[in-house]
Amino acid sequence: MKSKTCCVAVQGRKMFDKFLTPCCLIVACVLSFSTARADDKFEIYTVNYPLQYFAQRIGGQHVNVKFPAPADVDPAFWMPDVKIIGDYQQADLILLNGAGYAKWVSKVSLPRRKLVNTSSIFKDDYIKIDSEITHQHGPAGDHSHAGIAFTTWLDFTQASRQAEKIAAAMKNARPGLAEEFEQNFKQLNHDLMQLDARMSELSSLQPAQPLLASHPVYQYLSRRYELNLKSLMWEPGVYPEPAEWQVLNLILRRHEAEWMLWEDQPIEKTQKQLSASGVDVVVFSPCMNRPQKGDFMTVMQANIDALADVFSD
Amino acid sequence: MIDSLYIAWQYVRWNRGKTLVLITSITLIAFLPLALQIVLQESEHQLQSRAVNTPLLIGAKGSALDLVMNSLYFDDEAPQAINMQAVGQVEDTDLAQAIPLYVRFQSRGFPIVGTSLDYFDFRQLQIEQGRMYAFLGETVIGADVAERLAVVPGGSLVSSPDNLFDIAGVYPLKMKVSGVLARSHSPDDLAIFVDLRTAWVIQGFGHGHQDLVKSRDATVILNQDEKTVTANAKLLQYTEISEDNIDSFHFHGDESIYPITAVLAQPHDDKSSALLRGRYLDDIVYQVVKPDDVIEGLMENIFRIKNVINAVIFIVGIATVLTIVLVFILSLRIRRDEMNTIFRIGCSRMTTMRLLAAEILIILLASALLCTALLWLVKINSGGLVRSFIL
Q: Do A112 and B134 touch (CB under 8 A)?
A: no
pLDDT digits (tens, 9 = 90+) for B95-149: 999 999 999 999 999 999 999 999 999 999 999 999 999 999 999 999 999 999 9
Q: How many CB atoms lie within 10 A of CB A208?
A: 7
Span A101-108, mean pLDDT?
91
Q: Nearest 10 degrees: CA dihedral of A292, A294, A297, A301?
A: -90
Q: What percent of chain B has pLDDT over 70?
A: 90
Q: Do B134 and A89 touch (CB under 8 A)?
A: yes
Quickly state the pLDDT bin for B167 (edges 50, 70, 90). low
How far apart CA A270 and CA A274 sit, in angstroms, is 6
Does residue A168 contact residue A143 with C-beta atoms inside 8 Å? no
Least confident of A265-269, B223-227, B260-264: B223-227
How far apart CA B250 and CA A107 sit, in angstroms, is 9
**Per-residue DSSP letters for A84-97?**
HHHHHHHSSEEEE-
Distance of CA A123 to the CA centre of its chain: 18
Q: Do B228 and A142 touch (CB under 8 A)?
A: yes
Mean per-residue pLDDT of chain A: 85
Does residue B146 contact residue B152 with C-beta atoms inside 8 Å? yes
pLDDT digits (tens, 9 = 90+) for A229-286: 999 989 898 999 999 999 999 999 999 999 999 999 999 999 999 999 999 999 999 9
Does residue A283 contact residue A265 with C-beta atoms inside 8 Å? yes
Does B123 contact A at CB distance below 8 Å?
A: no
As to burial, measured by CB atoms within 10 angstroms (0-12 exposed, 13-18 middle, 19+ buried), residue A198 is middle
Does residue B96 contact residue B272 with C-beta atoms inside 8 Å? yes
User: What pLDDT was estimated at residue B312?
Assistant: 84
Span B56-64, mean pLDDT?
95
The residue of chain A nearest to residue B255, with distances taken between CA atoms, is A106
pLDDT digits (tens, 9 = 90+) for A119-132: 999 999 999 886 54
Which candidate from B131, B195, B233 shows the least CB-CB separation from A86? B131
How far apart CA A252 and CA A247 sit, in angstroms, is 9
Mean per-residue pLDDT of chain B: 87
Adjacent-strand bridge partners of A281: A260
Strands (E), chain B: 56-60, 82-83, 96-107, 110-115, 127-130, 138-141, 156-158, 174-181, 192-195, 206-207, 221-224, 228-231, 250-251, 259-260, 262-267, 286-289
Quickly state the pLDDT bin for A139 (edges 50, 70, 90). very low
Does A124 contact B at CB distance below 8 Å?
A: no
Cβ-proximal residues to B127 (8 Å cutoff; 6+ apart), any chain: B140, B179, B180, B181, B182
* For the ranges A16-20, A33-37, B346-350, the one whose mean pLDDT is highest: B346-350
Residue B56: which of B260, B266, B262 has the closest Cα? Answer: B266
DSSP designation for A170: H
Which candidate from B209, B231, B250 shows the least CB-CB separation from A136? B231
How far apart CA A56 and CA B362 sit, in angstroms, is 81
Q: Do B235 and A82 touch (CB under 8 A)?
A: no
- Is residue A207 pLDDT above 50, yes or no? yes
User: What pLDDT was estimated at residue A5?
Assistant: 46
Adjacent-strand bridge partners of B265: B56, B98
Cβ-proximal residues to B356 (8 Å cutoff; 6+ apart), any chain: B8, B328, B332
pLDDT digits (tens, 9 = 90+) for A7-27: 444 454 555 455 555 554 554
pLDDT digits (tens, 9 = 90+) for B8-24: 888 888 888 888 988 99
How far apart CA B105 and CA B109 sit, in angstroms, is 9
Quickly state the pLDDT bin for B170 (edges 50, 70, 90). low
Which candidate from B133, B228, B253 shows the least CB-CB separation from A135? B228
How far apart CA B225 and CA B230 sit, in angstroms, is 9
User: What pLDDT was estimated at residue A178?
Assistant: 95
SS3 (DSSP) at B94 = coil
Alpha-carbon separation of residue A254 from A249, A275, B207 (angstroms): 9, 18, 41
Span A169-176, mean pLDDT?
93
Does residue A104 contact residue A80 with C-beta atoms inside 8 Å? yes
Quickly state the pLDDT bin for A185 (edges 50, 70, 90). very high
Does residue A221 contact residue A154 with C-beta atoms inside 8 Å? yes
Cβ within 8 Å of A, B 188-207: 195, 197, 204-205, 207
Does residue B86 contact residue B260 with C-beta atoms inside 8 Å? yes
pLDDT digits (tens, 9 = 90+) for A286-312: 999 999 999 999 999 999 999 998 888
Q: How many CB atoms lie within 10 A of CB A5?
A: 9
Q: Do B134 and A133 touch (CB under 8 A)?
A: no
User: What pLDDT was estimated at residue A226?
Assistant: 94
The residue of chain B nearest to residue A145, with distances taken between CA atoms, is B252
- What count of Cα atoms within 13 Å lies in the side-chain half-sphere of residue B30? 18
User: What pLDDT was estimated at residue A271?
Assistant: 94
Quickly state the pLDDT bin for A135 (edges 50, 70, 90). very low
Strands (E), chain A: 42-46, 63-66, 93-96, 115-117, 128-129, 134-136, 142-144, 147-148, 210-213, 228-231, 259-262, 280-283
* Phi and psi angles of residue B271, each rounded to the nearest 5 degrees, phi first: -65, -45
Q: Which residues of B touch A107 (CB under 8 A)?
A: 135-136, 197, 246-247, 249
- What count of Cα atoms within 13 Å lies in the side-chain half-sphere of residue B196? 24
Does A89 contact B at CB distance below 8 Å?
A: yes
How far apart CA A76 and CA A150 sit, in angstroms, is 9
Quickly state the pLDDT bin for A147 (edges 50, 70, 90). confident
- C-alpha triplet B100, B105, B111: angle, nearest 5°: 85
The two most distant CA atoms of chain B are separated, in Å, by 117
Which candidate from A82, A111, A135 shows the least CB-CB separation from B212? A135
Cβ-proximal residues to B192 (8 Å cutoff; 6+ apart), any chain: B107, B110, B111, B112, B113, B139, B140, B141, B142, B145, B157, B175
Does B118 contact A at CB distance below 8 Å?
A: yes
Q: Do B136 and A107 touch (CB under 8 A)?
A: yes
Q: Which residues of A touch B226 (CB under 8 A)?
A: 132
Disruptive mutation site among A83, A124, A135, A144 for chain B (greatest number of B CBs within 10 Å): A135
The two most distant CA atoms of chain A are separated, in Å, by 112
Q: Do A140 and B204 touch (CB under 8 A)?
A: yes
Residues B168-180 as b or e (16 or more Cβ within 10 Å = b): eebbbbbbbbbbb
User: How many Å from the N-terminal Cα to the C-terminal Cα in chain B?
Assistant: 51
SS3 (DSSP) at B142 = coil
pLDDT digits (tens, 9 = 90+) for B28-59: 888 888 888 888 888 888 888 889 999 999 99
The residue of chain A nearest to residue B234, with distances taken between CA atoms, is A137
Does residue B256 contact residue B83 with C-beta atoms inside 8 Å? yes
Q: Do B117 and A145 touch (CB under 8 A)?
A: no
Alpha-carbon separation of residue B169 from A4, B161, B166, B233, B313 (angstroms): 99, 8, 5, 11, 50
How far apart CA B16 and CA B39 sit, in angstroms, is 32
Least confident of A246-250, B37-41, B209-213, B268-272: B209-213
Does residue B27 contact residue B370 with C-beta atoms inside 8 Å? yes
Residue A86: which of A65, A62, A68 has the closest Cα? Answer: A68
Alpha-carbon separation of residue A146 from A128, A153, B24, B220 (angstroms): 7, 21, 74, 22
The residue of chain A nearest to residue B114, with distances taken between CA atoms, is A109
Alpha-carbon separation of residue B122 from A206, B129, B385 (angstroms): 57, 20, 25
Quickly state the pLDDT bin for B388 (edges 50, 70, 90). confident
Which candidate from B116, B227, B247 shows the least CB-CB separation from A112? B116
Does residue A304 contact residue A312 with C-beta atoms inside 8 Å? no
Which candidate from B118, B133, B253 shows the least CB-CB separation from A113? B118
User: What pLDDT was estimated at residue B212?
Assistant: 64
User: What pLDDT was estimated at residue B233?
Assistant: 64
Residue type, B73: Y
How far apart CA B33 and CA B50 sit, in angstroms, is 26
How far apart CA B98 and CA B90 sit, in angstroms, is 6
